[in-house]
Structures are given as C-alpha cells and as structure tokens.
Amino acid sequence: MKAVQGAIFLACTAALLCASCAVSPEAEERRLAIEADIDHILSMQPDPTEYGAARRCLSELDYRNFRALDDRHILFEGRRGRMWINTLRSRCPDLRHGDVLIVRSFSSMRMCDMDSFEVTDWFDWPWYRRWPWHWDRSWGVGVRCSLGKFQPVTEDQVNAITELLKSR
C-alpha cells in the first residue's frame, strides 16, 4: 500500500515539476530571437591581425576575469583590453548564479572547447568546505555545462550584446 502511495506521490511531483519548467511559446520565441541577434553580432568578425582568430583553448594567463552575459555566453576579459566570448554548447541555467567556474579540463593551466565546467560561488570553494558547512565535496556545485570556442570580440560587440540582453 505504501509503495503505491509513494509511486503516486512521485508521479504527481514529477508532473508538477515538468509543468513548472514549461515555457510559453512567446517566451521561447523571444529567447530564440535574442540568440539569433547575438549570433548576428558575433558574426561580424573583428580584424584578425588586431584581435586574433578564434581559439580552441584559452590559457589561465590570457584572461583576468569572466562574467556571464546570459545562460549561453561567457565573456572572458584579458590583458590589454582583449576579450573573448565563449558560446556554450547548450544553455547553462546556473551560469548567472555563481562566481567560480570549476573546469574539468584535459590539460592543465588552460580550458578548451569541449571541456566541461560547473558553476559555484566562493563559499563552495574547497577552502570553505569544512564541517559543519559542507558534508561532501559535491555540495553546492551546479549543473555540468560544456565550453565552446573562444571568439575574440570588440568592446562595441560586447556593448551591443549587453544592451540587447538588457532590453529583454
């Protein structure tokens, strides 16, 4: 009897979760239009002799900071005003809610196209993982996402994308 009640409860909970994740057709259409506009802005390649070509990997020494533009684009800010946008392979819902990328890379000191990462914040970082705050190492770590290529961008492109996302 309890097993049947448990199964019914589980099925109802799953149905409610799926219903709460549903997106209206208008919102999905608006999201796709914004992604198309961002793709158009990024298609205007800056001069490769001045900004460099798209890169498969970015060294830890190449950038100083990063920030999420939306759930699919990360801006990496480097030295001498260099900037790269990484368009993720799929949407990453946790991206705007953290300050730290925990990258699972195949090489040390750099992150590359196809590397996976999780988003967390400073208080989930290892030196804060002490009892009684965290019971295991995966506590507080978000969804696993996958990096794309690092495309050089100009400040004007970044400003255009930022304004587009603000107008949402």
Per DSSP, the three-state class of 22 is coil
Reported as a single tens digit per residue, the pLDDT across 107-164 is 778 899 999 888 876 555 454 444 444 444 454 556 788 999 999 999 999 999 999 9
Q: Is residue 6 part of a domain?
A: no
Question: CA-based angle 59:162:49, to the nearest 5?
Answer: 45
Q: Is residue 126 part of a domain?
A: yes
pLDDT bucket at 103, cuts 50 / 70 / 90: confident
Q: How many domains does one find in the chain?
A: 1
Length of the chain: 168
29 vs 105, higher pLDDT: 29
Per DSSP, the three-state class of 87 is strand
CA–CA dist 144, 146 (Å, integer):
7
70 vs 96, higher pLDDT: 70
Identify the domain containing residue 100 by its residue range.
25-166
Q: Is residue 15 part of a domain?
A: no
Q: Is residue 131 part of a domain?
A: yes
Cβ contact 58:113 at 8 Å? no
Cβ contact 27:35 at 8 Å? no
Reported as a single tens digit per residue, the pLDDT across 39-78 is 999 998 888 888 888 999 998 889 898 899 999 999 999 9
- Among the listed residues 72, 33, 32, 80, the one whose alpha carbon sits nearest the alpha carbon of residue 52: 80
